[in-house]
Structure 1
Amino acid sequence: LLFYFALRIIRRLRILSLRRLPQVAGPHLPGVTIGGFSLLTAQQLLTFVRRMSDLLAWAAGLFTAYLWLVFVLTRFAYSRPWGEALGAYLTSTVAELALSALGGVPGLFTVVLIFIVTRWVARLVGAFFDAVEAGSVELPWMHGETANPTKRISIALLWLFAIVVAYPYVPGSSSDVFKGVSVFAGLVISLGSSGVVSQAMSGLVLMYSRALKPGDYVRLGETEGTVTTLGMLSTKIRTNKREEVTLPNAVVIGGGVKNYTRLASESGIILHTSVTIGYDTPWRQVEGMLLLAAGRTEGLAAAPTPFVHVTALSDFYVEYQLNAHLLDPSQRVGVLSALHRNILDAFNEYGVQITSPHYVSDPPRPMIVPRERWYPAPAPSPE
């Protein structure tokens, strides 16, 4: 009867703990983070506590069943030796566990002390680098943009050092089981860390070279968009088509980074486009039409003024490059499209075809521009 009531009490306590745990501990249960890296979320930690509650309930039930079996066996003369043997085994096991627990108390105290000190030092390190990032503390050898990754790396190394120092004080750390687990963990890390280390080193290069940061408008290989996340292993880009592209940092380093935002703080970036026109069209007229199209395009700065370069004198045509300052690099695609439309309108207004002729035979007249046609509209006249 006592055994039955004991099991009922254990079952009720288990149900009560599972019901009250999310209400009591859920809102106040923090996640587990080390060095700025999230290891367990609050929900995952709550699930772990629930599993531990179930495990404790089963252990209490099995212990109660063991006591009941010992009691029943000792009630009969035939089975009394078995009951006494089970009781003696239980007593000796509990005594050994108690002595082991008492022997491990100094080591556990040392481990707790090491982790408390490490946590306080990690907070001080984090506060220092936060001040560097905010600009309240200036260091000649560190830029504010690199303060956050330096903080995360420093705190992670600090915790790793604390684990190495505390490991010998963990009860049972010198046993063969702990040694086997350590060897297995080292083997797994050695076999699977080559790619991770390569990505992490590439991430450090991106962070400390300040090649890009979240919010920059960049072009990485064939991907163009705004950087949303610069992580240790990968970089995430949000494109103009609202696509999120994740690129491994080693790929980013290998393909090169074109940052449109880095030098755009003062006068924007230079947006350029090219057009090829035949030799029978005056270059001054082409330049005037390109500048006219640039002036009609919203998003391009009026000062510094746009300019045109003649980039090639090919066999059949001349290549012109229009350059203008773009105020907002994130609008590059839309402004370039508007500029192309305005170029088409300007050339259509003045009856100039945007064509690239190819040589088939000698033309009936030379493909040159006589002097009297050097300044057709909208080219400005020197007079």
Structure 2
Amino acid sequence: MNLPKLLFCVCLVWSAAYAPVQASDMPALVTTPAPEKTNDATLTVENRAIMTFRSSVLGIEPLERVKRAESRIEKQLSNGGQHKASMLAMPPGILIQIDNAGSFYISPGDIDQFQQETLEANAKNAVDNLNLAISETHESRSLDYMLRAAAYSALATIIYFFALWLVSKVRHVVEHRLLKFANAKIDLLDDTSSQIINRERIQWVFSGLVQVFSWLLILLLSYEWLSVLMEQFPVTRPWGEHLNGYFVGLIVMLGTAILKSIPDLFTAIVIFLLARAVTQGLSRFFGRVQDKSIQLSWLDAAVAVPTRRIANMAVWLFALAMAYPYLPGANTEAFKGVSVLVGLMISMGASGLVGQVVSGLLLTYTGIYRKGEFIHVLDYEGSIVEMGMFTTRIRNGMGVELTLPNSLVLSNVTLNYSKAVQGDGFIVDTKVTIGYDTPWRQVQEMLILAAQRTPGVISHPAPKVFQTALSDFYPEYLLICQAIPCDAQLRAEVMNQLHGNIQDVFNEYGVQIMSPHYLGDPAQEKVVAKGDWFRAPAAGAVGAE
């Protein structure tokens, strides 16, 4: 048996790290089975990864090979010598040595074919890692080196705490200046805008942003400080290198992704800029339609604003759909998952939303109501302040603003007191019931007289009174007139003065406003003598004799 074969047999006895050989190379081992794939195991020395075993050799699993190799390396490093790692070709694998003594064996089964690794490259990398681990072992046993490492660590700690103090100071300065800037801008707002904007909430948002950025910076400094400390000591140096490598790799990955996404991002920005230009042009066009500089038969000035909003929304949705494939990360599974989740949430909660939108569109484009008109819906009445996509806001006579869902307004009978009025104003109506023993002509004239005395009620068209019902005990009189004011609160004042004038007029002519109810037949018939048919103020009425 020649010398190489003798060395190989010695390695079989001493090491748990070699692969079965082929029959053409080692005739004595022709019965050795093919490499058996098992769980991977990594050989580490002083916390530094040296080599990953991926196959079993002669029935020895990778984990057992690692344990035997670690034990052998520990014994070799405890002996004297240069402790220099090298490799020796030992077909079909490569033997790794320390001071020409075998430490472990790399077999072809330990190579990751999917990573396009080679046996020689793996062996060279294992030698380099082992030499580095041996060097760190020597450093850990050197008192002079450990004292220098402790000194560098203390200096790094001092710099770290100084940086934390500096971050705290800068945070207070930046927060103070931001709050001062925000308060100055809020003070410049008018009363209406200042009531809408919550000063405390704005201050809380700015303070929160500054604190978030400061904590991110503190975490970054702590991360770097910890990695620097670990790199100073041989035992923890691999961990520090891993922290730094992870951080640098993350920055490189993000930077590379940003650079790769620049062309697509530029395309998306161009699409959004074009959409912005189109919306600005549409806004100017609809603005001229609103102020009647442009008159179109198919577009009323009253619906120019909602039409502009709908057109701008359509343009932006189209731009988003066109730019979506060019957005960074649009093709990732995470982005697709978020898109599906958002779509599912919208589809689940959009039933009522779509109904409100459709109702708003019908109210807007059918011309049923207009801003400023006085309407009555269910138990609510007031002047329309705003007709939105989802709700209609009205202000009642007490100055209270009510918000009604568009579906509620559209699905119920609504009284519009301003629709039949030409120009500004609204219809005023009130109902009274007077007994049959009071001449109806007198009642009508008294109601008309009360309306004429009321400020705001116009004479053309003239107030009118209708007998809407002949009930069992009394007739019902409905007074209808038109008033000029179009504000809901002014309408309440007109109604107040009208009711007061009705009482005054009835008192002047000795007629009590009362609706009689009878439990039995009255002693005298409740009729009006013919001579009293035109009792004042009905003396000048048409048909008076």
Q: TM-score, normalised by structure 1?
A: 0.81
Q: Does 1:207 align with 2:364?
A: yes
Q: What does residue 539 of structure 2 align with?
A: 380
Structure-1 separation of matches of 2:173 and 2:522: 98
Q: What does residue 34 of structure 1 align with?
A: none
Q: Does 1:149 align with 2:306?
A: yes
CA-to-aligned-CA distance 1:34-66 (integer Å, 9 cap, x gap): xxxxxx999989976765554444444444444
Structure-2 separation of matches of 1:109 and 1:41: 37
Match of 2:516 among 347, 356, 359: 356
Q: Does 1:319 align with 2:476?
A: yes
Report deviation, 1:363.
Answer: 4.5
Structure-1 separation of matches of 2:473 and 2:258: 91
Structure-2 separation of matches of 1:133 and 1:54: 46
Tell me: CA distance 1:63–1:339, structure 2 relative to 1, closer, same or farther (3 Å). Answer: closer
Higher relative contact order at CA 8 Å, sep ≥6: structure 1 or structure 2? Answer: 1
Q: What does residue 37 of structure 1 align with?
A: none
Kept in 1, the 8 Å contact 2:371–2:387? The answer is: yes
Provide the aligned C-alpha RMSD in A: 3.4
Match of 1:134 among 287, 291, 298: 291
For residue 232 of structure 2, give the secondary structure of its aligned residue in structure 1: coil
Report deviation, 1:362.
Answer: 6.8
Q: What does residue 286 of structure 1 align with?
A: 443
Kept in 1, the 8 Å contact 2:377–2:415? The answer is: yes
Q: What does residue 272 of structure 1 align with?
A: 429
Report deviation, 1:156.
Answer: 1.7
Structure 1 segment 73-222 matched on structure 2, within 5 A: 73-222=230-379
Report deviation, 1:226.
Answer: 2.4
Kept in 2, the 8 Å contact 1:288–1:380? The answer is: no
Report deviation, 1:315.
Answer: 4.2
Kept in 2, the 8 Å contact 1:214–1:228? The answer is: yes
Structure 1 segment 42-81 matched on structure 2, within 5 A: 54-81=211-238
Structure-1 separation of matches of 2:450 and 2:404: 37
How many residue pairs were aligned? 372
Kept in 1, the 8 Å contact 2:391–2:404? The answer is: yes
Structure-2 separation of matches of 1:46 and 1:267: 45
Q: What does residue 122 of structure 2 align with?
A: none
Structure-2 separation of matches of 1:377 and 1:81: 112
Report deviation, 1:115.
Answer: 1.8
Structure 1 segment 291-310 matched on structure 2, within 5 A: 291-310=448-467
Structure-2 separation of matches of 1:63 and 1:252: 57
Report deviation, 1:257.
Answer: 2.9
Kept in 1, the 8 Å contact 2:383–2:396? The answer is: yes
Match of 2:401 among 233, 240, 244: 244
Q: What does residue 235 of structure 1 align with?
A: 392
Percent identity reads 39
Tell me: CA distance 1:224–1:157, structure 2 relative to 1, closer, same or farther (3 Å). Answer: same
For residue 157 of structure 1, give the secondary structure of its aligned residue in structure 2: helix
Structure-2 separation of matches of 1:228 and 1:88: 62
Q: What does residue 494 of structure 2 align with?
A: 335
Tell me: CA distance 1:308–1:3, structure 2 relative to 1, closer, same or farther (3 Å). Answer: closer
Kept in 2, the 8 Å contact 1:239–1:245? The answer is: yes
Report deviation, 1:359.
Answer: 7.3
Tell me: CA distance 1:16–1:71, structure 2 relative to 1, closer, same or farther (3 Å). Answer: same
> What one-letter code is carried by the residue in structure 1 that aligns with 2:481?
A
Runs of at least 5 residues in structure 2 that lack an aligned partner in the other structure: 1-154, 187-196
For residue 237 of structure 1, give the secondary structure of its aligned residue in structure 2: strand
> What one-letter code is carried by the residue in structure 1 that aligns with 2:499?
H
* Higher Rg: 2
For residue 186 of structure 1, give the secondary structure of its aligned residue in structure 2: helix
CA-to-aligned-CA distance 1:60-109 (integer Å, 9 cap, x gap): 44444444444444434444444444444444444333322221111222
Structure-1 separation of matches of 2:281 and 2:396: 38
Report deviation, 1:136.
Answer: 1.0
CA-to-aligned-CA distance 1:202-226 (integer Å, 9 cap, x gap): 2222222233344332222211222
Report deviation, 1:141.
Answer: 0.8
For residue 380 of structure 1, give the secondary structure of its aligned residue in structure 2: helix
CA-to-aligned-CA distance 1:271-318 (integer Å, 9 cap, x gap): 333334444444333333333333333332223333333333444443
Kept in 1, the 8 Å contact 2:395–2:401? The answer is: yes
Report deviation, 1:149.
Answer: 0.8
Q: TM-score, normalised by structure 2?
A: 0.59
Structure-2 separation of matches of 1:63 and 1:214: 56
Structure-2 separation of matches of 1:304 and 1:69: 89
Structure-1 separation of matches of 2:200 and 2:517: 68
Structure-1 separation of matches of 2:442 and 2:243: 107
